[in-house]
Amino acid sequence: MATGTDIRTYFEGEWHDGNLAVMRAADHGSWLASTAFDGARYVDGVAPDLMRHCERLNASARALMLEPTHSTQEIHDIVWEGIASYPEGTALYIRPMYWGLDNIHMAILNGEACGFCICLEAVPMAAPDATVRLTTTRFHRPTLETAIANAKAGCLYPNSARMLAEARAKGYDNALVADPLGNVAETTVSNIFMTRDGEVFTPVPNGTFLNGITRQRHIANLRADGFTVHETTLSFDDFRGADEVFMTGNLQKITPVREFDGTEYQIGPIALRAREIYWDWAHSERRASAA
């Protein structure tokens, strides 16, 4: 099922209307899940950190032993070409992808060509007052020794899906997820932050979850705004003792958490300030590029 509506697909050198079929039955990607993708956003005339998302896509492909067929600049430019085909003001989810084509005894053939497409979908931003409720899950994030944890790879997401299904079966929106040692890593779909006594805390990247581009941007923005931000090891009890908790990710940028397993939080001033300075930064980047 598609994430949004009004889908347009770039495949084999041109844009197509709709949710185009791009994989064949014997492609390595459809058979054995060698898919790499990235997600970016276009909202209110800006596509924050789009080039960094394109760069990460190619890095993820290489982590899967796929050789990218497009430079980051080419992907960036094709995306903007697609954005221009939508009515002004349409909020878009941007998803460029690679997948393996040929294989031998299930392994990816190093250096062989891979499939490539870009999918654009109209996806509105969540309401400004949207919040989520979190619980725990029995499933953990993997290490690099057990999964391709250094890529934004499709094969990692069934694990996220079963976490999310468990959380929803318990009546919650999402789950706060542990790394293999039992420390907090992130949620099923996004990075996580908490505040205490006016300072900001977030799990230190330890190779079990992606150090998100939006996560990095929020850290830089908050520090530039005068906040102390700690990247450190955090427990579930740390989150139970937090003043406020918020999720960060590409799709909605920042989402306050109102509850974690019975512990309730305010929709706090730091989360609201983080959202404000993020969009101030995004629009200042557009103004600077236009100057």
pLDDT the model gives residue 291? 44
- Does residue 84 sit in helix, strand or coil? coil
What CATH number is given for 5-122 in this structure? 3.30.470.10
What pLDDT does 62 receive? 93
Determine the 3-state secondary structure of 184 from DSSP: strand
Which residue has tokens 């293999």?
180
The domain limits of the chain are: 5-122, 132-282
- Residue 104 is predicted with a pLDDT of 72
* Whole-prediction pTM: 0.94
Q: Quick: pLDDT tens for 137-183.
A: 999 999 999 999 999 999 999 999 999 999 999 999 999 999 999 99
Answer yes or no: are the C-beta atoms of 92 and 58 closer than 8 Å.
Answer: no
Nearest CA-CA partner of 237 in 263, 198, 269: 263
The single-letter code of the amino acid at 210 is L
CA distance 184 to 206: 11
Among the residues of the chain, which ranges form H helices?
28-32, 50-63, 72-83, 157-169, 213-224, 236-240, 269-290
SS3 (DSSP) at 122 = strand
pLDDT value, residue 219: 98
CATH number for the region 132-282 comes to: 3.20.10.10
Buried b (16+ CB within 10 A) or exposed e, 187-203: bbbbbbbbbeeeebbbb
User: Model confidence over 106-138: pLDDT tens digits?
Assistant: 667 666 679 999 999 999 999 999 999 999 999
Q: In the chain, which residues have pLDDT < 70?
A: 1, 105-107, 109-112, 286-291
- pLDDT, residue 3, reads 80
The CA distance from 238 to 243, in Å, is: 10
DSSP 254-269: EEEEEEETTEE----H
Q: How many residues does the chain have?
A: 291
Read off the tokens for 168.
């929803």
